[in-house]
Amino acid sequence: MSQLPGDRFLNRELSWLDFNARVLELAEDETLPLLERVKFLSIFASNLDEFYMVRIAGLKRRQSTGLTVRSPDGLTIREQLTLITERTQDLVHRHADVFIKDVAPRLEDCGIRILHWEELADDDARRLREYFRDQVFPVLTPLAVDPAHPFPYISGLSLNLAVSVRDPDTGLAHFARVKVPNNVPRFVTVGAAGAQDVAGQATFLPLEDLIAAHLPQLFPGLDVVSHHLFRVTRNADLEVEEDRDEDLLQALERELARRRFGPAVRLEVTGSMDPQILEVLLSEMEMQPEDVLHVPGLLDLASLMALYDVDRPELKDEPFVPATHPRLSEGETPKSVFATLREGDVLVHHPYHSFATSVQRFIEQAAVDPNVLAIKQTLYRTSGDSPIVNALIDAAEAGKQVVVLVEIKARFDEEANIEWARSLERAGCHVVYGLVGLKTHCKTALVVRREHGVLRRYCHIGTGNYNPKTARIYEDLGILTADPRVGADLTDLFNTLTGYSRQTNYRMLMVAPHGIRAGLIEKIRREARNAADGRSSGIRFKLNSLVDERIIDALYEASLAGVPVELFIRGICALRPGVPGLSETIRVRSVVGRFLEHSRIMSFANDGEPEWWLGSADLMHRNLDRRVEVLLRVCDESASRELSRIFDAAMAPDITCWQLGGDGRWSRSGERDYQGELLRRVGEHAD
């Protein structure tokens, strides 16, 4: 391998902030429907919350060890945190500006208003005083801070009022904290109608404004001098010490109880925050001035999603109904999934194809089919009222053997998954919790069916979770197949996940942590050899994130050999494309839009015999080293052609996208809506 330059990697954390900046650009896009812009404002804020809870928390934890650790791009942790803070403060100000100066006035023009207390009409103020008395006041708990009352625990992501009060007799000032309750709507409806009127007009008051207007009732006999809103973000990344001799469920439950008390990593304050109160907050929560983000206007704009729920369809994208895959129905009549798969594989593309009439129906038909003997499935995330889980429970109660690997370490879904696991166990399912030291992230289902005295296996392998709710907003792909080679591979995989098998070689799969990185690098190098020998070559990857340095270096080597490389990456990209003498044949683009691009596809030209792979793995250290991931080789010609068409559409020169330059900057270009075109195409096929 030739010597590659030391500055060939982009910083992963700054690259993630660039992704969130692309989300923010959609909120700034005046061509989008107004409430869709509100939605992107909310998504930007919730994304940033999770970034601090996990990524910044992780950097701070490593910094606290005192070790000098540099990122692949050569930055120390302190240097990274400084750059992240500067970039984040800039983005937060842009975020607030687009809401305050652009979106909020446009909402008001459309009859959707957010008022402050002093702007209320007398009748509205009277009604809200009654609402406060009946619905809010009983929930509030003012907490004093003095020698007899230690500084209270501030829960992560909660809104809080820091209140300064004075004793009129002694003149002594005191500090108190009032938590804005999270079990009361953040935006209180103003007006007698309760919700919105017939014309779609809707007026709201922030809950913190309502509480602030009634602070004297919380501190009778004292003078309320001032109040300031603040919000704390805490480390929410679990560190479960996995011991083979300890019950993983108990260890995780113990760690979940600790998570709410994780160290504070970010303090958000309004621009009017009193410096003395800020000093108290920093001191009591053991934070530094660089941990503070000053936010103009409202804090926690993630809560704007409540405004998106206002019934104003003309201010939103046109609704669409996912189409049933044409091979899974005859007119309006559903077909047997098993009969269809015996004729050939089915590639489903969500949300364009309905999850309910494809993957969900596959599990539901298996649950009630008397010829089905067993169902084996991995569950990483699913919905609150999961039809998949309900079908698995029905199957177990019907006497089928049901094996479910529930990944109880799925971040932020741990408690829900523990509940699912217990519900499944009570129904008689065999539930396992994965492998020690690894998260099981693959999306796989195996159905064993007796047909004419012979057992036949039917499979689903996908890129997204078995979650019917996110399947309407996440773009994902999946293969439904009766290929006996895939069935044999999944049987081996489930034996590894549930037993002591150490299977590492498969027929149609690449499986992490042992096989994906090495398998992909070998195929990348094959393309480089083909290019060097004058044969046809080419690499196409569609990913959420590309971070793994060994794979990036292999792609650089392929580019130096002349291989055309097209990368379609939604989020983080640590590779520098288009750099002379390094990556001249590589281009990187990103699409951020109505649906969250979530599928992972890999394609290799292979000297005229193209290989297509799809699965659950992004090309990051955690996916390749610390997770069970699956990539499936797509052999069905019809499915391969469809994957090629999807990629061709994504890389077309005139679609709206962001292009990454060798300097790490993303630039927006194009006028054609890639996702809109796929919607139209699926709709035409459905007709």
What pLDDT digit, counting tens, does each position of 507-547 carry? 999 999 999 999 999 999 999 999 999 999 999 999 999 99
Residue 435 pLDDT: 77
Q: How far apart are CA 221 and CA 509, in angstroms?
A: 72
Query: What's the DSSP call for residue 76?
Result: B
Q: Show Cβ contacts of residue 532 under 8 Å, excluding neighbours closer than 6 positions.
A: 561, 562
pTM above 0.85?
Answer: yes
Say what percent of the chain tops pLDDT 70. Answer: 93
Residue 268 pLDDT: 96
Least reliable range by pLDDT among 74-88, 188-202, 320-334: 188-202
What pLDDT digit, counting tens, does each position of 641-663 carry? 999 999 999 999 999 999 999 99
Residue 244 pLDDT: 47
Residue 248 pLDDT: 59
Given a contact cutoff of 8 angstroms between Cβ atoms, the answer to whether 674 and 656 are in contact is yes
Residue 173 pLDDT grade (very low, low, confident, very high; cuts 50, 70, 90): confident
Residue 66 pLDDT grade (very low, low, confident, very high; cuts 50, 70, 90): confident
Q: How far apart are CA 449 and CA 415, in angstroms?
A: 33
Residue 37 pLDDT grade (very low, low, confident, very high; cuts 50, 70, 90): very high
Given a contact cutoff of 8 angstroms between Cβ atoms, the answer to whether 549 and 9 are in contact is yes
The two three-digit tokens of residue 520, written as one number: 């992909």
Taking 3-state DSSP, the helix, strand and coil percentages for the chain, each rounded to the nearest 5, stand at 40, 25, 35
* Helices (H), ranges, 561-620: none
The two three-digit tokens of residue 312, written as one number: 């104003």
Q: Is the pLDDT score of 249 beyond 80?
A: no
Q: Which residue has the higher pLDDT, 2 or 594?
A: 594
Q: Is the pLDDT score of 243 beyond 70?
A: no
Q: Is the pLDDT score of 258 beyond 70?
A: no
Catalytic residue of the set 228, 441, 460, 598: 441
Provide long-range contacts, Cβ within 8 A and 24+ apart, for 673-677.
673/593, 674/591, 674/593, 674/649, 674/650, 675/475, 675/591, 675/593, 675/594, 675/595, 676/594, 677/649
What pLDDT digit, counting tens, does each position of 45-61 carry? 999 999 999 999 999 98
What pLDDT digit, counting tens, does each position of 197-225 carry? 555 689 999 999 999 999 999 999 999 99
Residue 234 pLDDT: 93
The two three-digit tokens of residue 597, written as one number: 């691009």
Q: Show Cβ contacts of residue 110 under 8 Å, excluding neighbours closer than 6 positions.
A: 34, 312, 315
Residue 239 pLDDT: 57
The stretch 472-479 carries a mean pLDDT of 97
The stretch 613-623 carries a mean pLDDT of 96
Residue 71 — φ and ψ, nearest 5°? -75, 165
Q: Is the pLDDT score of 416 beyond 80?
A: no
What pLDDT digit, counting tens, does each position of 417-457 carry? 788 888 888 999 999 887 778 889 999 999 999 999 999 99
Residue 118 pLDDT: 94
Judge whether 441 counts as a catalytic residue: yes
What pLDDT digit, counting tens, does each position of 108-162 carry? 999 999 999 999 999 999 999 999 999 999 999 998 887 666 788 898 999 999 9
Residue 436 pLDDT: 77
What pLDDT digit, counting tens, does each position of 78-111 carry? 999 999 999 999 999 999 999 999 999 999 999 9
Mean of per-residue pLDDT scores for the chain = 91
The two three-digit tokens of residue 485, written as one number: 């080679």
The stretch 602-608 carries a mean pLDDT of 97
- CB burial of 444-477 (b: ≥16 within 10 Å; e: otherwise) equals bbbbbbeeeeeebbbbbbbbbbbbbebbbebbbb
Residue 609 pLDDT: 95
Q: Is the pLDDT score of 687 beyond 50?
A: no
User: What Rg do the C-alpha atoms of the chain give, in angstroms?
Assistant: 27
Angle at 528 between CA 527 and CA 533, to 5 degrees: 95
Residue 415 pLDDT: 77
Q: Which of 181, 176, 233 is nearest to 207 (CA)?
A: 181
Residue 499 pLDDT: 81
The two three-digit tokens of residue 227, written as one number: 């109040």
Residue 259 pLDDT: 59
Q: How far apart are CA 648 and CA 612, in angstroms?
A: 14
